[in-house]
A and B are shown apart, each in its own frame.
Chain A
Amino acid sequence: MLPPPIAIRVATEWLAARARWQPLEVGFWIVAFAAIWLFPDRHLILTEIAWLGLFALSLDLILGYAGIISLGHAAFFGLGAYTAALLAKYEIINEPVLALLVAGLAAMALGFVTSFLVLRGSDLTRLMVTLGVALLLRELANRLGWLTGGADGLQGVSIKPVLGMFRFDMFGHTGYAYSLIVLFILFLIARRLVNSPFGLSLLSVKGNPLRASAIGISVDGRLIAIYTVAAGFAGIAGALLAQTTSFASLEVFSFDRSADLLLVLIIGGAGYLYGGLIGAIIFKFMQDYLSALTPQYWPFWIGLVLVVIVMVGRDRITSWTAPFRRIASHLNWRALARHVAASSSERR
């Protein structure tokens, strides 16, 4: 018994629409790349936004898609940062892109090992376990002072030109272009991943692990996989920080960093990939603006924002952007094309 081709066409079209690029997305990336030429005097903060956005994208993969909450994501970020800084300092790998990959792999290895700690337990246990792992790593880096420079941080790191051609400069021109390209490539991978059968199975594991396992999905396997991948993303974000600032310190592992990250993702909204990026933009510019105004009140403002967001999106921390996302997803190419065609014919 074969279904009529029309039903299959409808289904195929609906599924294809899930993964289709929306105009707003394309616009987002055009603006991001145009900023290389448009805002040369803002490249330093844009670089920070790029790696913070990547870091938040990593958290989104586990929180927004697999439902794993973490207060210790800085563990992977920090490992990536130290790996990249050490590779450069001791001239083990001089080419930044290669060092970036190695830093990502190191963070993935740590992610894989620690993923077993987050497989079970409530959100609260996960918060505590992830927090604990990050604290442990920070202490480890502190103790290994001969290697990491301890509390002083890793001094005297010099980063060689990217691909042997593009030298890092003090204005962040190279840094921004480099970070943005890395972010974009990893974003494409993440986008592919969440729109794949694997990505769909993550949503099922997040939504109802009992049923997911009852249709043959290895819940643990999926969680281990995405936690490992996300750790790699976070490690690369940390490596970008180390490479664009030629420095790594214990602060990369700090609790504040993990907590801010959660805040960034909450500001932008979890579960649609852009939340981390948008959150990073808002967070960094707000921080820049508010701390220029009144440096000592920055924590107050950020606290206020947090309370407001949570009150507005009371039921779920991920949900407050839902109306905007609905609008965005209705704005698909065809509708827009029809709209433009209609309005231009009206004008004639």
Chain B
Amino acid sequence: MAVALETINLVKRFSGIVASNNVSLQIAKGARHALIGPNGAGKTTLINLLTGVQRPTGGRILLDGEDITSLSTHERVRLGIVRTFQINQLFNDLTPLETIGLAVSERRGQGLDWWRIVGSRPDLVAEVVEILERFHLADVIDKRTAVLPYGKQRLLEIALAIACRPRVLLLDEPAAGVPEDERHEILAAVAALPADVTVLLIEHDMDIVFSFADRISVLVNGALFVEGSPEEVARDPRVKAVYLGEEVADA
């Protein structure tokens, strides 16, 4: 098994709280890996550490065996580690067209072009429009993000990460707050990702987790508690006791 992303004894301490407690996690290349755990378990913190939004108190992070612990967020994005946010982080005053355009020109290394007018590269515009259509945003390309309905904003949140063409995609509760009947659009987009893209999914909805994941890690109080295949995790009595409780018993 080739490992895409790996953490070694990762520790993150906030004043008084240990949000990540010696986490040593391996995510295989092309995996559909789910990270679950109760509220406040440290799932988002782990993503913050993996993407460089926060610096670990201790431990190391490796991408394809290379130490990336000291790299900044944008440098990691260039290496292919891209995330979405649990709470939308969008550009309220920009349109979806501009938003996706930003990510695509940055990925192509054209983000510093200052002498060229935005939209003057037909191939770039075509790619942006293709992404917007894929995420059902074609009808709102010219609306300010702030005025979009929440469901559309959530789609844009995910589309923006995909526009960076991730090699490792970290999804922090992508369906959070999206009504049941709109979720399939987001999940379909995630399912349609190329097989060689490595995905780490944080999700509370066990139906989504078990239909998606080929591997599950359970995080409790900042520490890795159990890890295994979906069947193993579903059967594990400790998991049932600590976290899954009734939900798995029903499944």
Specify the chain B residue showing the minimal Cβ separation from A207: B91
User: What would be 29 A-B contacts, judged by CB atoms less than 8 Å apart?
Assistant: A3-B133, A7-B138, A8-B122, A11-B125, A14-B141, A15-B125, A16-B119, A192-B115, A195-B118, A197-B116, A199-B118, A200-B98, A200-B101, A201-B111, A203-B91, A204-B91, A204-B94, A207-B91, A210-B53, A210-B89, A211-B90, A211-B91, A214-B53, A214-B82, A214-B89, A215-B106, A216-B77, A217-B102, A218-B74
A83 CB → nearest B CB, Å: 25
Which listed residue, B126, B134, B160, touches A215 by the CB 8 Å rule? B160
* 1/0 contact string of A1-37 vs chain B (CB within 8 Å): 1110001101110111011000000000000000000
- Taking CB atoms, residues of chain A closer than 8 Å to B74 are 213, 216-219
Specify the chain B residue showing the minimal Cβ separation from A220: B72
Which listed residue, B95, B105, B122, B130, touches A1 by the CB 8 Å rule? B130
**A215, B129: Cβ atoms under 8 Å?**
no
Specify the chain B residue showing the minimal Cβ separation from A194: B114
**B93, A203: Cβ atoms under 8 Å?**
yes
**B107, A216: Cβ atoms under 8 Å?**
yes
B57 interface contact, C-beta 8 A: no
A307 interface contact, C-beta 8 A: no
**A12, B112: Cβ atoms under 8 Å?**
no
A198 interface contact, C-beta 8 A: yes
Ranked nearest first, the 5 interchain pairs of A and B with the lowest CB-CB distance are A15-B119, A216-B77, A198-B114, A211-B89, A213-B73
In Å, the complex CA distance between A217 and B164 comes to 11
B171 interface contact, C-beta 8 A: no
**B141, A10: Cβ atoms under 8 Å?**
yes
Specify the chain A residue showing the minimal Cβ separation from B76: A216
Specify the chain A residue showing the minimal Cβ separation from B108: A197
Specify the chain A residue showing the minimal Cβ separation from B101: A200
A291 interface contact, C-beta 8 A: no
A196 interface contact, C-beta 8 A: yes
In Å, the complex CA distance between A8 and B121 comes to 11
- Taking CB atoms, residues of chain A closer than 8 Å to B138 are 3, 7
**B141, A11: Cβ atoms under 8 Å?**
yes
Known: A11-B128, A15-B119, A198-B112. A216 touches B94 (CB 8 A): no
**A11, B114: Cβ atoms under 8 Å?**
no
Specify the chain B residue showing the minimal Cβ separation from A14: B142
In Å, the complex CA distance between A10 and B111 comes to 22
**B113, A198: Cβ atoms under 8 Å?**
yes
B7 interface contact, C-beta 8 A: no
Known: A2-B126, A14-B142, A210-B89. A215 touches B113 (CB 8 A): no
B49 CB → nearest A CB, Å: 14
A155 interface contact, C-beta 8 A: no
Which listed residue, B94, B105, B119, B133, touches A207 by the CB 8 Å rule? B94
A98 interface contact, C-beta 8 A: no
**A7, B117: Cβ atoms under 8 Å?**
no
**A201, B141: Cβ atoms under 8 Å?**
no
Specify the chain A residue showing the minimal Cβ separation from B160: A215
Which listed residue, A10, A16, A196, A214, touches B116 by the CB 8 Å rule? A196
Specify the chain B residue showing the minimal Cβ separation from A7: B129
B129 CB → nearest A CB, Å: 4
B210 interface contact, C-beta 8 A: no
B85 interface contact, C-beta 8 A: yes
In Å, the complex CA distance between A212 and B102 comes to 9
B29 interface contact, C-beta 8 A: no
**B90, A197: Cβ atoms under 8 Å?**
no
B110 interface contact, C-beta 8 A: yes
Specify the chain B residue showing the minimal Cβ separation from A210: B89
In Å, the complex CA distance between A217 and B106 comes to 7
- Taking CB atoms, residues of chain A closer than 8 Å to B106 are 201, 215-217
Of residues 154 through 184 on chain B, the ones whose CB sits less than 8 Å from some CB of chain A are 160-161, 163-164
A125 interface contact, C-beta 8 A: no
B26 CB → nearest A CB, Å: 23
Which listed residue, B113, B118, B163, touches A18 by the CB 8 Å rule? B118
B75 CB → nearest A CB, Å: 8
In Å, the complex CA distance between A198 and B116 comes to 9
B92 interface contact, C-beta 8 A: yes
B218 interface contact, C-beta 8 A: no
In Å, the complex CA distance between A69 and B72 comes to 25
In Å, the complex CA distance between A32 and B99 comes to 36
B4 CB → nearest A CB, Å: 18
Kindly list 15 other residue pairs between chains A and B, CB separation below 8 angstroms, not including A213-B77, A215-B103: A11-B128, A12-B125, A15-B117, A19-B119, A192-B117, A196-B117, A197-B105, A197-B111, A197-B118, A207-B94, A211-B90, A213-B72, A215-B106, A216-B78, A216-B111
